[in-house]
Amino acid sequence: MELVKDYPLSKRFPELPLLSAANTKKHSDLIPFAFGHPAQESFDVPLLSQSAVSALQLDGPRALQYSGGSGPDFVLNWIQQRSKHVSISVETQNILVTAGSMQAIDLATRTLTDPGDHVWVEAPTFFGAIRQFSLAELKISSIPVDHNGLLTDELENKLKEAVKNNVPIPKFIYVMPNYHNPTGVCLSIDRRKKLAELAYEYNFYVLEDDAYVELSFSGKKLPSIYTFGPKRVIYLSTFSKTIAPGIRMGWALADDEQIILRMKMLKSDGSTSVFVQEIISHFLSDVKFDYHMKRINELYCTRKDAMISAVKECFGKEVTYTEPEGGFFLWLSFPEKVNTSEFAGDALARGVSFIESKYFYIDGAETNHIRLSFTFTNEEEIKKGVQRIAESYYRYKKSIEVLNEV
């Protein structure tokens, strides 16, 4: 037999680092703060089981066909009504149900851009979005965030500079307005309005990724960016944080029906699992959704409080953070000269994982932060995990001090 020759694979795959801690095999005592996972206690397994049985018993043959039964229409109508909670009014034909919000990001990206186009993101931002935009062969730039979200004044200055210097403006800006991943902050009302105004003035789209909107510990919801600029916003959300990520169901909505039609054309898998939509339609029919979310948010708020208490006890004034009012994450900032990647391995060896800040920046610019998820682990594990990170950090800090003395 002849030797197998090298085969040239597609050149579209960028050189992106793999997440170390998030992809590490779990050992018996690992506390996985790296996992941006919902709590297992948040899954209503009995009702989901009942819903699956109902889907088969009441509409089995149709639900198992390509086009499905009545479930997909129910899901569309539910999304339409629920969108009113963030001040969105939309027709069901302007909503596309997707296989999770990541597919929605992919479809919107490929609808709005061509290879070589420019997109701008927040700094820091969701590493999954960075990977998606890189795979689409886009040129990515970033705008910083603070405790009130994206710095829209800095965005405006950068847009003015781009026009002045005849540099391409972005085709879209990717923004997470509520309980931002990884920082946990919310975009202020004034900045939401300003961002929409800039999108109209400079003719770019806003990709509004609102995956965490329902995870509000106070129950309050701000109007979406879409509310202030529907002609230039594609709004995305998901059931992953409210029902379960395993069902792989999210959605996109846009004021321009042509946007949704083009996204459908790119959706090569056809309709998003119509049988799963049938199950979810029964679940949504039977669940008291506001009570369901109240239960989840009470659980997450308790765990967030436990993590902040542990951080205060273990780190004191050594770290800073903005206390999140919802979502999954706490973003810890260490002194500027700290490189959190340099003690991530030691922390992992001690049995706790986190994600270092370099993964959340397009150029790895800031290295002195870590993202901790407080949703997946219980209060006892949270306290133990933060203690382990502190042990690793202070060991690292001591080694740096020794080196500086030499």
Residue 102 has pLDDT above 60, yes or no: yes
Name the average pLDDT for the chain: 93
Tell me: the pLDDT tens digits for 274-327? 999 999 999 999 999 999 999 999 999 999 999 999 999 999 999 999 999 999
- What pTM was estimated for this model as a whole? 0.94
Return the percentage of the chain with pLDDT > 90, whole number. 85
| Mean pLDDT computed over 160-171 | 96
- DSSP, collapsed to helix, strand or coil, labels residue 277 as helix
| pLDDT value of residue 7 | 86
Residue found under tokens 């990884």: 182
Confidence band (pLDDT; 50, 70, 90) for 181? very high
For residues 107 and 263, the answer to whether their CB atoms sit within 8 Å is yes
pLDDT in tens, 182-210: 999 999 999 999 999 999 999 999 999 99
Contact in structure between 343 and 395 (CB atoms under 8 Å):
yes
Dump pLDDT digits (tens) for 301-315.
999 999 999 999 999
Specify the pLDDT at position 406. 45
Band of pLDDT at residue 365, cut at 50, 70 and 90? confident
pLDDT above 70: residue 26? no
Q: In the predicted model, is pLDDT for residue 20 greater than 60?
A: no
Q: Which residue has the higher pLDDT, 27 or 37?
A: 37
Which residue would you say has higher pLDDT here, 5 or 147?
147
Cis amide bond preceding 124, omega within 30: yes
- For position 293, what pLDDT does the model report? 98
Contact of 226 with 189, CB cutoff 8 Å: no
- Percent pLDDT > 70 in the chain is 95
Q: Closest by alpha carbon to 344, among 29, 22, 25?
A: 22
Q: In the structure encoding, which two tokens stand for residue 52, read together?
A: 């699956």
Query: Who contacts 347 (Cβ-Cβ below 8 Å, separation ≥6)?
Result: 353, 354, 388, 389, 392, 393
Average pLDDT score over residue span 21-39: 78
What is the band of 27 on the pLDDT scale with cuts at 50, 70, 90? low
pLDDT at residue 246, rounded to an integer: 95
Average pLDDT over residues 261-269: 94
Query: Domains in the chain, start-ordered, CATH in brackets?
Result: 31-44+290-405 (3.90.1150.10), 45-286 (3.40.640.10)
pLDDT at 403: 53
Residue-wise pLDDT for 213-261, tens only, equals 999 999 999 999 999 999 999 999 999 999 999 999 999 999 999 999 9
pLDDT of residue 209: 98
CA trace torsion 187, 189, 192, 198 (10° rounding)? -130
How many CA within 13 A on the CB side of residue 213?
A: 24
- Identify whether the C-beta of residue 40 lies closer than 8 Å to the C-beta of residue 250: no
